[in-house]
Amino acid sequence: MSKVSNIMRLVLLQLRGSKDKVANVKNAARTIEAAVKEHHPRLITLPECFNAPYGTKYFREYSETIPDGYTCQELSNLAKKHQVYIVGGTIPELGENDAIYNTCTVWSPTGDLVAKHRKMHLFDIDVKGGIRFKESETLSAGNDFTTIDVDGHKIGIGICYDIRFEEMARLYRNAGCEMIIYPAAFNMTTGPLHWELLQRARANDNQLFVVTTSPARDASAEYVAYGHSMVVDPWAKVQQSASDGEETVVADIDFSLVEQVRQQIPVFGQRRLDLYGTEKKSK
């Protein structure tokens, strides 16, 4: 993609994971190589916890430091080798003071780490008859908003449960983002109810693209992901969607659609900021 073009080819890799970290990373590498060869993307996204099982008892065991850990070094090499941006899903990060974070890394075509986003909102839920999960039993929450620039287009980064918090998406919109990417692993309780709904809501509210990349569904896993990785456009229309198995989703993103929608339905400039507002707080 040239700097004057509004079209960006995006690839979402919905991958099936296992308890073998090396095998998971090698699967990602093979799939990235195949996607580059066939589709020639500018940006590739991976799922939440693509290198490890998703579960509180696994986060510390599979954690590694950023950027010198095994998974990060592989992602860096892949981005440089294939000359693409990689939004590296998430991995369990071993951070300062022995804290563990659920972290998304972003790699440039030069192989450099250009951003990392630590999940801000921890997935602590207890749905009677459905699912109980408490990320806070193991994980610490991140405190920073994360944006990247790809060829002049500003993109916000969130992780899974972050998508439920409309204030976060609004702040990305306020900052000029045209897209938000959420590596995510919704489950079989919340997925059928809220997965598409939340993506379309965030896209509609903020008139931008919303991209989610999920692990493939594995019915034998302890945590069963919903799948259905998705691209939603600024009209809140589903542009592309996967099914539930391993799948490569290809989408040509036309960023000019963002400005078209914002001009035709100019809600951003019509807000009653004399009565309400959403503002980022300094720490």
Q: Which residues are catalytic?
A: 48, 119, 160
Side-by-side strand order, sheet with 153-157 = 146-150, 153-157, 179-183, 209-213, 230-232, 238-241
Which amino acid type is present at position 186? F
**What's the rounded Cα separation, in Å, for the pair 24 and 15?**
9
* 229 vs 217: CA distance, rounded Å: 11
The identity of residue 221, as a single letter, is A
Running DSSP on this structure, what letter comes out for residue 187? Answer: B
255 phi/psi in degrees, rounded to 5: -65, -15
DSSP labels, 152-179: TEEEEE--GGGGG-HHHHHHHHHTT-SE
Pairing of strands 124-126, 7-14: unpaired
Between the CA atoms of 204, 114, 43 and 109, what dihedral angle is there, to the nearest 10 degrees?
160
